[in-house]
Chain A
Amino acid sequence: MMSTQPQKRVIPEPPSKLKTYFTFFIILLLIFGSAIQTNTSITELIAGFPNMMDLLVQMVPPNWSYFGKIVPAMLETIRMALLGTTFGAIIAIPIALFSASNIVKNTWVFYPVRFILNLIRTIPDLLLAAIFVSIFGLGPLPGILALTIFSIGLVAKLTYEAIEAIDPGPMEAMTSVGANKIQWIFFGVIPQVLPHYISYVLYTFEVNIRAAAVLGLVGAGGIGLYYDRTLGFFEYDKTSSIIIFTLVVVLIIDFISTKLREKLI
């Protein structure tokens, strides 16, 4: 049958490119608008470039003797990150349990909790620290509080997603032998989630070390205070030694934490 009719060759029309062009137009519009809004000027960048090169040149031989002076501040930074992560991780446990849809089956509970969690995660840590500084005054305490709140958001979100992905088998078995909710969580949920949870806490600690290193810029303790101090006095060689010290500490902690996390999972 098919061969009786002469086949007509139909070249399919290429799909319309209108959408692509439209998208490009919008992106271009956004970029131009942003450039105007931010007073972007290439000439200014080129004019300022020697300044920056000058700054970099002044930074080059780092002031090695400055390391001794900033060790206490560095230790304070690590302490802040450690305490902030710990408090945040502890508070995150009940929040994660309440926002997991396979633990709390009531929609009216887990959606509001998740909503609050999302709200917490929208505020950047440095702004939180700035607010806490104006409440509690200068020092490491506002820094720890800001990191705590930031850690709650991160750990709780990652953990509740891990809880929702667990195997329901053990819990069904426990329900069938008459376990109550607490037993159910202790023996069914926690053993499955614990490695993930510890891994997320370690990851949060890595993030918090980086965050804690700059919190001092708003007066919340730690090494960040020295950025302000050295840059204010134009002592760029000291600034570069702070940067190098921070990088080394961050890399060491990242390395240890990554090794531990690889062992966990």
Chain B
Amino acid sequence: MSNTTRPLIKPKKNKTRIWLIYITLALIYIWAFSGMPLPDVKETAAQVSKAIFSGIFSPDWDYVYLPDGEDLLRGLLDTLAIAILGTFISAFLCVPFSFLAASNMSKGRSLSNTGKFILSLIRTFPEIVMAIMFIKAVGPGSFAGVLALGLHSIGMLGKLFTEEIESVDPGPAEALTATGANRLQIIWFAILPQVLPGFLSYTLYRFEINVRSASILGVIGAGGIGTLLIFALSSRDWERVGIILLGIIVMVTFIDLLSGYIRKKIV
């Protein structure tokens, strides 16, 4: 009885909309490509890239440790120190911000919205520019990098911390309120134990990012391994570039592994 061989009707697609998307995309790409000048590659490009590659595969091992002055290990140590201190400062400073921005902690929507706005403002401000400003204040060197990372990381850490605080179980806080605890006691005994593992995990995650950022900061003179890389590049010492790149890769990979292991244990 039933017509089992009835052909399936294909779902109708909105053809015009799809074409509109395609045409918009095509226009965007035509604009993008037409504005690009034809790449005029230097004749030395192949030579230089070959030199860098051979530099990576036959690094300047002597550079790892020099008894006097700037070598790879000291550069990496400097980078790590900038990342550690910057992360610590921001983790410390962003706690009040995140309690202010969390909608279940601060009274009134306007207060928490203000906190969130401040955090997103800090987040969108490029950290390199922040570092340039700190260099103007405290002079070039690692300290400027520490301050830039410490201030910039507040933006992202504050946002993550805020979300962590907003997702706590209200039960313990209510129980404490019922027994007559004051606000500080509630935060200390009900909120902090719940959010602390999350805070630590996010701080470690930000530390991973900061290790990468700290290796960039040297490009503009804010200390760390970046300065050495720029020196090696400008003096065309490709073997040195190779060992510095290798050093950065090993350090970042190691930090990622270590931090990932600790984070798995915490949560």
Contact = CB atoms under 8 A, between A and B. Distances in A.
B249 A135 contact: no
B223 A38 contact: yes
B233 interface: yes
A76 B35 contact: yes
Given A52-B134, A124-B216, A141-B41, A214 B128 contact: yes
Interface stretch (A166-174, A184-192, A243-251): A243-251
15 contacts: A37-B81, A38-B85, A38-B143, A39-B141, A45-B147, A86-B29, A127-B215, A130-B230, A130-B233, A136-B42, A137-B40, A139-B37, A210-B126, A239-B129, A247-B125
Interface stretch (B6-14, B45-53, B106-114): B45-53
A83 B33 contact: yes
Given A34-B85, A124-B213, A127-B219, A247 B37 contact: no
Contact of A126 (B36, B136, B216): B216
B106 to A, nearest CB: 25
Interface stretch (A63-71, A99-107, A115-123, A155-163): A115-123
Contacts of B226: 126-127
Nearest to B224: A38
Interface of B: 28-29, 31-33, 35-37, 39-42, 45, 48-49, 52, 77-78, 80-82, 84-85, 88, 124-126, 128-129, 132-134, 136-139, 141-143, 145-147, 212-213, 215-216, 219-220, 223, 226, 229-230, 233-234, 236, 241, 245, 248-249, 252-253, 256
Q: Is the interface of A mostly helix, strand, loop or mixed?
A: helix
Contact of B220 (A30, A79, A141, A217): A217
Interface of A: 27, 30-31, 33-35, 37-41, 44-45, 48-49, 51-52, 55-56, 75-76, 78-79, 82-83, 86, 118-119, 122-124, 126-127, 130-131, 134-137, 139-141, 210, 213-214, 217-218, 227, 231, 239, 243, 246-247, 250-251
